[in-house]
Amino acid sequence: MRAGADLPVAPLTTAFTDPVGYSPVWVVLAAVAVGLVVAWVVGVLRVTRNREDTAPRVAPDGLESQRHEALATIDALTAALARREVTARDAAGRLSTVVREFVGSATGLALHAMTLEDLRGARVDQLTELVTVLYPSEFGPREAGDVGPLIARGRDLVARWR
C-alpha cells in the first residue's frame, strides 16, 4: 500500500476562483512614494540651479559714490606706498580688497570671499585678470617689486567699470 493512498480527495469543481487581490492601501502608498520622489528631484533641481542675474545691482547714482570712495582709497594707498608706510605685498592685498569690494557691490556678488578659481567661475573677467596678476605680489614667496603699475591697473578698472 502506498502512503497517502487512503486519504480522501476533494472533488474537482468547475468554477473558476479569482486570484487573491491586493489591498487598495498599497496603491495609495505607491502613489505617495512616487510623489515624494518627484518632489525630492524637483527640490534638488531648484536648490542647485544656476542663478544668473538674481543679485541686486547698485543704482547708477549709488555706484558713482562707491566708485568715488574706491578711487579715493586707491589714491590713499598709492600715497602710503610712496611714503613707504606699507609694503608692496600689503599694497597688493589692500588693492585686491578695494577692487573686489567695489566690483562686488556693483554686481551684487560676494567677491571678497572668493578664491581665484571662484572668480573665474563668477564671470567678472576684468577683476579676474587683475587678481591673477596681483596673486604673485600678494602671496609670492618673495617681497613684490614695483606694484605701481598694478595699482594703476586697479584704479583704471574701478574708473571704467559699468
Burial of 130 (0-12, 13-18, 19+ CB in 10 A): buried
B/e letters for 93-106, b = 16+ CB within 10 Å, e = fewer, are bbbbebbbbbbbbb
Quickly state the pLDDT bin for 4 (edges 50, 70, 90).
Answer: low
Is position 123 within any domain?
yes
Burial of 51 (0-12, 13-18, 19+ CB in 10 A): exposed
User: What's the pLDDT tens digit per position in 81-127?
Assistant: 899 899 888 898 999 999 999 998 888 888 888 888 888 888 888 89
Is position 34 within any domain?
no
Is position 41 within any domain?
no
Is position 7 within any domain?
no
Least confident piece of the model among 12-16, 42-46, 84-88, 138-142: 12-16
**pTM: predicted TM-score of the whole model, two decimal places:** 0.62
Give me the chain's average pLDDT, please. Answer: 84
pLDDT, greater one: 149 or 52: 149
Q: Are the C-beta atoms of residues 132 and 99 closer than 8 Å to each other? A: no
Domain residue limits at 88: 60-160
Is position 11 within any domain?
no
Quickly state the pLDDT bin for 69 (edges 50, 70, 90).
Answer: very high
156 C-beta neighbours (distance < 10 Å), count: 13
Is position 16 within any domain?
no
How many distinct structural domains can be found in the chain? 1
Q: Are the C-beta atoms of residues 144 and 132 closer than 8 Å to each other? A: no
Is position 71 within any domain?
yes
Q: What pLDDT was estimated at residue 47?
A: 85
- Distance set, CA 159 to CA 26, 109, 153 (Å): 67, 19, 10
